[in-house]
Amino acid sequence: MAEAIRLPSLQLESGRTMTDVSVAFSSWGELNAQGDNAIVVCHALTGSSAADDWWGPLIGPGRTLDTNRFFVVCLNVLGSPYGSASPVSINPETGGPYGPAFPAITIRDTVRAHRRALETLGARRALCALGGSMGGMQALEWAFEDDFVDGVAPIAAGGRHSAWCIGFSEAQRQAIYADAGWNGGRYAEQPRQGLAAARMIAMLTYRSPGSLAARFGRNLQETGDDLFAVESYLRYQGAKLADRFDANCYVHLTRQMDTHDVARGRGDYADVLRGIDRKTLVIGVDTDVLYPLAEQEELASLVPGARLEVIRSPAGHDAFLIEFAQLDRILRSWIADELRRPEPSRARGVRSEKLMGV
């Protein structure tokens, strides 16, 4: 379970100010006396701060994200139902859940809230921020947070959300809106069918055509109900998300991803990327159809000194959650070669391996 920090207020890009803003986090290892050995792990769309659940092989003593050396911390994004301020949390102005009235939040808003939470924990500087998909968007935004991070490692993400990705986001939202129980987001019971359908659409972008062909082909289920195996798989994935997530949160988070554009309000896109002065590792997946490798190649070509690495996998976009051996090799090498070595950890009262509930 995650712990949480409460920010008294948060000024959003929209100009709106939120009050009593919860930021949930999980952490492993200890923050050193200098407060400069943090590694910030950023999670994807429906993920949570429990990074050891989805990146477990990379986190721990002696592993790539070595908890004997680093204070590894993952903060839950704003808008997620897993502990940070979101549509399911209480609006202090009304005393009831925000629901569809939860304010529009950008990737930048989330990163700025996370920085304030880290500073509250005593972190003065971080070695790097890294993550995949929506986590990669956050990692890129960390490059613009003054000199708080030494390096950034976006994985399976681009410098801005493409029309292709925005279109898929909208298709997923429309699937939710089409559920008779949606009621403009003011539902008493979860609009399960719509949320499940949205997840089914998303799953087709998370895998590659080749991976689905190899796993399912045109095989029918053996249950005798005339379902293709791939249909059964998608229905299972949809139902599983509907059991654990919230429809308003899903709608909000897809819109938050659509705000991703490092150049918004900063200038010409290429010039903005050329202005990044952090150690940068860009990781792409050769079979990613959602954020094609060309997007990571573009990032690496524009960010000065960026290192480009490619995960070779039939899995598609989700390879960053599957190909741990390749991720281990790539990240371990970059951390050793490019990032400064922090002083050994000295307890500052910030330590967690399994955290107490919020």
Residue 262 CB neighbour total at 10 angstroms:
22
Q: What is the CA radius of gyration of the chain?
A: 20
Q: Of the residues 288, 313, 318, 345, which is catalytic?
A: 288
pLDDT band of 226, cuts 50, 70, 90 = confident
Question: Which amino acid type is present at position 197?
Answer: A
Report the number of secondary-structure helices (H) and strands (E) in the chain: 11, 10
pLDDT at 257: 98
pLDDT band of 343, cuts 50, 70, 90 = low
CB 58 within 8 A of CB 226: no
DSSP character string of 1-14: --EEEEEEEEE-TT
Q: What percent of the chain has pLDDT over 70?
A: 95
3-state secondary structure of 188: coil
93-110 core/surface letters (b: 16 or more CB in 10 A; e: else): eeeebbbbebbebbbbbb
Q: Which two tokens stand for residue 98?
A: 């925000």
Beta-ladder partners of 5: 23
pLDDT at 222: 81
Q: The dihedral of CA 136, 139, 141, 143: what is its sign?
A: negative
271-295 core/surface letters (b: 16 or more CB in 10 A; e: else): ebbebbebbbbbbbbebbebbbbeb
The half-sphere exposure of 204 on its side-chain side, counting CA atoms within 13 A, is 14
| pLDDT over 90 at 223, yes or no | no
Structural domains of the chain sorted by starting position, each given as residue range(s) with its CATH number in brackets: 3-161+261-338 (3.40.50.1820), 165-257 (1.10.1740.110)
Mean pLDDT over each residue of the chain, to the nearest integer: 94
Q: Which two tokens stand for residue 143?
A: 């490059």
pLDDT at 224: 73
Residue 122 CB neighbour total at 10 angstroms:
16
Residue whose token pair is 């959650």: 321
Q: Which two tokens stand for residue 113?
A: 């809230």
* 113-159 pLDDT, tens digit each: 999 999 999 999 999 999 999 999 999 999 999 999 999 999 999 99
Q: How far apart are the C-alpha atoms of 155 and 169, rounded to whole Å?
A: 19
Q: Find the mean pLDDT for residues 18-31.
A: 97
Question: Could you tell me where the beta strands, DSSP code E, fall in 43-125?
Answer: 59-60, 65-66, 71-75
Q: Which residues contact 82 (CB under 8 A, 6 or more apart)?
A: 2, 24, 48, 49, 76
Crossing angle for the helix pair 134-142 and 107-121, to the nearest 10 degrees: 70
Our answer to whether residue 114 is catalytic in this structure is no
Q: Of the residues 80, 86, 133, 345, which is catalytic?
A: 133
Our answer to whether residue 288 is catalytic in this structure is yes
Q: Of the residues 114, 161, 252, 317, which is catalytic?
A: 317
The kind and range of the H/E element at 255 are helix 247-258
Q: How far apart are the C-alpha atoms of 40 and 29, rounded to whole Å?
A: 12
CB 324 within 8 A of CB 333: no
pLDDT band of 344, cuts 50, 70, 90 = low
Our answer to whether residue 20 is catalytic in this structure is no
